[in-house]
C-alpha cells in the first residue's frame, strides 16, 4: 500500500511541475505544454498536483475544461478506487 502512496505523490509532483513549467513558458513566450499533457498527468493519478498548482499559480483557471475536468477526473478515480476496495474487501482479499 505504501507503494501506491509513493506513486501518487511522485505523479502529483510531476503534474504540478509540468503545470508550473507551462505557466513560466506562457509568460516567457517559450514552447507550451499541450493541454492533453496536463490531462494525461491528471489521468495517471497526478490530478491533485495539477489542480493545486493551477489554483496556486492561477494557471488555466479561466479554462472551463480544466476547472471542471481535472476535479471530475479525480472524483472518477476516487469512485473507481472505492469500488475496487469494496469488491476486494467483501471477498476477503483485504
* SS3 call for 34: coil
User: What pLDDT, on the 0 to 100 scale, is given for residue 49?
Assistant: 98
Handedness of CA 10, 11, 13, 17 (dihedral sign): positive
Rounded to two decimals, the pTM is 0.89
> DSSP labels for 6-21?
HHHHHHHHHHHHHHHH
Tens digit of each residue's pLDDT (9 = 90 or more) over 15-25: 999 999 999 99
Which tens digit of pLDDT belongs to each residue from 28-80? 999 999 999 999 999 999 999 999 999 999 999 999 999 999 999 999 999 99
- Can you give the residue ranges of every domain in the chain? 2-90
What pLDDT, on the 0 to 100 scale, is given for residue 1? 77
The pLDDT value recorded for residue 48 is 98
Amino acid at each position: 500500500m505504501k507503494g501506491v502512496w509513493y506513486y501518487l505523490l511522485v505523479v502529483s509532483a510531476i503534474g504540478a511541475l509540468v503545470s508550473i513549467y507551462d505557466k513560466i513558458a506562457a509568460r516567457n513566450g517559450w514552447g507550451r505544454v499541450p493541454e492533453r499533457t496536463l490531462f494525461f498527468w491528471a489521468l495517471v493519478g497526478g490530478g491533485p498536483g495539477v489542480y493545486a498548482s493551477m489554483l496556486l499559480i492561477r494557471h488555466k483557471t479561466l479554462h472551463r475544461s480544466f476547472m471542471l475536468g481535472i476535479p471530475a477526473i479525480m472524483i472518477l478515480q476516487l469512485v473507481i478506487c472505492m469500488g475496487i476496495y469494496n469488491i476486494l474487501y467483501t471477498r476477503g482479499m483485504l
